[in-house]
A and B are shown apart, each in its own frame.
Chain A
Amino acid sequence: MVNNRKVRLMTRLAIYEKNEGREDIRLSKYYRADYVRLNVLRTVVAITIGYLLVVLIIGVYNSEYLIREAVTLDYRSILVRYVGAYLLLLTVYCALCMIGYMVKYRNSRKKLTKYFRMLRRLRSIYREESGELPTGEEMDTDDSINS
């Protein structure tokens, strides 16, 4: 016979797994520090590529001037200015990313906690069905996953 409670719970679990859960479960394989570090690293790569492209576009834009003044240009100050701007950009982006991904990780963990709670309920239903009484551990709604 169809167990309505079980079907409800499994539907909920499946909906979560299908949508946001997929990302949350993927994310749960990382420690928080690793996850944040990985994404900051990705950001560094993206910003570096983006910045190089911007420099390329500016270079082509000023190509006439650059060729004309190639001998008299103050390369040192240009380099300092562009590297400085790059470092500033990188710092701002990394800081924002670190905060953003930390918040994302925490939110995902919260949702995952709920998911695990439902899984535990499902397990207790299975146990009930097979005649065993659910143990206190299963009915417990602690946030052990949150650690």
Chain B
Amino acid sequence: MILLILEARAVLLRFFQKFQMVLTPLVKFFIAFITFHAINGSIGHEPHLMKLPAELVLSFIGTFAPAVILVLLAALVSLAHIYTASPILAILVALLMLILYCFIARFSGKYGYVVLLMPIMFILKLPYVVPLILGLVATPLTIIPMACGVLVYRMFVIIKAAAEMEVSMGINDILEMYIDVIDRFVADKQAIVLIGVFSVIMIVMYLVRKLNIDYVFEISIAAGTIAGILGFLFGDMYLHTQFDITGMVFGMVGAMALALIFQFFRMALEYSAVERVQFEDDDYYYYVKAVPKIKLAVPVRKVKRISEGADPEPENPEDGMVDFSPEPATTSKAERELTEEERYALGEELPDESLLEEFPSEQDENG
């Protein structure tokens, strides 16, 4: 069973590597489309932007533009929707977005897209996955874009409620609505709890991840999940936020499952074959624990077609054999070298010996 899953993993990874050129833009398009569709679904007011062609065009731009442009486009589309509902609210949202950018978002660096990802995952009802995965791959510095994303989401929840209760536009009504929105935004306990608990999850996962134990990533995910559930329970107890506790627990467990799947595809480690070595050089004494990554050769499936009158040993293999393997089964020396190059080109770290091998004469010539 385990072997079957690992084989499936190998096949899938190979498939992705092979069709990376096509799949990467496709995935990006898909993400962009979900983004714009989710925005339209949750705060859609501007009819022109809600049409499918508009969504497709925006997603197309988002596919080929850098992540920053996608975030910017999403912000502009949201503003356009809010502007149609209420120009005053749109100005307020623009101001709040600018403040968020000046104080927090500009420090998010290469994880800036998390600001967008967080609200989208909230809309897709999968918010707990984000801290679990960030805790797995990133440093606690990503708390910054995460917090920003939570604030953006909560802001839109509040704005959405305000836009729906929009009344006649007297100057007093506008001011009242403005004060109401600001009041709710400042006193938003849910945002405080969400940011607090998500930060705790990420810090706990980061600390656990640095430990020198077997199955450290899986343990880290479990620790993050437990920290999250406890955090939400305590938060709810002390701040009396009206969280749906059952939904939260199920959500956290589901997120844990997704994070485990993510980890499985990111890295499958073979803890039964851990190598522990000790050695020294002039400056240090090294205790090295090397955990091998599980690598399976993709199984080669051959379908032999047996039909009447067929030549038992066809000269041309295509006549009688259908080869479903992605590459020919033979592994000549030249081919093996090519795959190594491919691995290299895909950015995989080769062991340092390979670099040393490149310069066997380095020491001799220096010496």
* Interface residue ranges, A against B (CB under 8 Å): 4-5, 7-9, 11-12, 15, 46-47, 49-50, 53-54, 56-57, 60-61, 63-64, 100, 121, 133-134, 136, 139
CB proximity of A135 to chain B, nearest CB, Å: 10
In the complex, what distance in Å separates the CA atom of A41 from the CA atom of B4?
Answer: 57
In the complex, what distance in Å separates the CA atom of A121 from the CA atom of B362?
Answer: 10
B297 within 8 A of A: no
Minimum CB distance partner of A60 in chain B:
B178
In the complex, what distance in Å separates the CA atom of A57 from the CA atom of B182?
Answer: 9
Minimum CB distance partner of B183 in chain A:
A61
CB pair A8–B99 under 8 Å, yes or no, is: no
CB pair B102–A50 under 8 Å, yes or no, is: yes
CB pair A53–B95 under 8 Å, yes or no, is: yes
In the complex, what distance in Å separates the CA atom of A61 from the CA atom of B187?
Answer: 14
CB proximity of A105 to chain B, nearest CB, Å: 14
A-B contact pairs, 14 of them (CB 8 A): A4-B337, A4-B341, A7-B341, A8-B354, A11-B341, A11-B345, A46-B102, A49-B98, A50-B99, A53-B98, A57-B92, A57-B95, A61-B178, A139-B366
In the complex, what distance in Å separates the CA atom of A12 from the CA atom of B341?
Answer: 11
Q: Map CB proximity to A onto B36-53 as digits: 1 under 8 Å, 0 otherwise.
A: 000000000000000000
Q: At the interface, is chain A mostly helix, strand, loop or mixed?
A: helix
Task: Give the residues in chain A near B365, CB-CB below 8 Å.
Answer: 133-134, 136, 139
Q: At the interface, is chain B mostly helix, strand, loop or mixed?
A: helix
B273 within 8 A of A: no
Given contacts A57-B182, A61-B178, A63-B175, contact A47 B102 (CB under 8 A): yes
CB pair B175–A49 under 8 Å, yes or no, is: no
CB pair A8–B344 under 8 Å, yes or no, is: yes
Minimum CB distance partner of A58 in chain B:
B182
CB pair B362–A139 under 8 Å, yes or no, is: yes
B106 within 8 A of A: yes
B358 within 8 A of A: yes
In the complex, what distance in Å separates the CA atom of A5 from the CA atom of B341?
Answer: 10
CB pair A47–B103 under 8 Å, yes or no, is: yes
Task: Give the residues in chain A near B106, CB-CB below 8 Å.
Answer: 46
Given contacts A60-B178, A121-B359, contact A54 B99 (CB under 8 A): yes
In the complex, what distance in Å separates the CA atom of A5 from the CA atom of B175?
Answer: 70
CB pair B347–A61 under 8 Å, yes or no, is: no
CB pair B99–A53 under 8 Å, yes or no, is: yes
In the complex, what distance in Å separates the CA atom of A66 from the CA atom of B115?
Answer: 35
CB proximity of B123 to chain A, nearest CB, Å: 26
Q: Map CB proximity to A onto B163-200 as digits: 1 under 8 Å, 0 otherwise.
A: 00000000000010011001000000000000000000
CB pair B344–A12 under 8 Å, yes or no, is: yes
In the complex, what distance in Å separates the CA atom of A11 from the CA atom of B343?
Answer: 11
Task: Give the residues in chain B near A11, CB-CB below 8 Å.
Answer: 341, 344-345
In the complex, what distance in Å separates the CA atom of A54 from the CA atom of B182?
Answer: 11
Q: Map CB proximity to A onto B89-123 as digits: 1 under 8 Å, 0 otherwise.
A: 00010011011011100110000000000000000
In the complex, what distance in Å separates the CA atom of A61 from the CA atom of B179?
Answer: 6
In the complex, what distance in Å separates the CA atom of A49 from the CA atom of B98?
Answer: 9
Task: Give the residues in chain B near A100, CB-CB below 8 Å.
Answer: 107
Q: Map CB proximity to A onto B116-139 as digits: 1 under 8 Å, 0 otherwise.
A: 000000000000000000000000
Task: Give the residues in chain B near A9, CB-CB below 8 Å.
Answer: 358
Q: Which 8 A-B pairs have the closest CB atoms?
A: A50-B102, A46-B102, A5-B358, A50-B103, A53-B99, A50-B99, A11-B345, A15-B347
In the complex, what distance in Å separates the CA atom of A11 from the CA atom of B178?
Answer: 56
List B residues 315-345 near A (Cβ within 8 Å). Answer: 337, 341, 344-345
Q: Map CB proximity to A onto B140-181 as digits: 1 under 8 Å, 0 otherwise.
A: 000000000000000000000000000000000001001100
Task: Give the residues in chain B near A49, CB-CB below 8 Å.
Answer: 98, 102
Minimum CB distance partner of A47 in chain B:
B102
Extra inter-chain contacts (4) besides given A4-B337, A11-B344, CB under 8 Å: A7-B341, A15-B347, A57-B95, A139-B366
CB proximity of B93 to chain A, nearest CB, Å: 12
CB proximity of A84 to chain B, nearest CB, Å: 18
CB pair A136–B366 under 8 Å, yes or no, is: yes
Task: Give the residues in chain A near B95, CB-CB below 8 Å.
Answer: 53, 56-57
In the complex, what distance in Å separates the CA atom of A28 from the CA atom of B274?
Answer: 40
Task: Give the residues in chain A near B182, CB-CB below 8 Å.
Answer: 57, 61
In the complex, what distance in Å separates the CA atom of A134 from the CA atom of B365?
Answer: 9
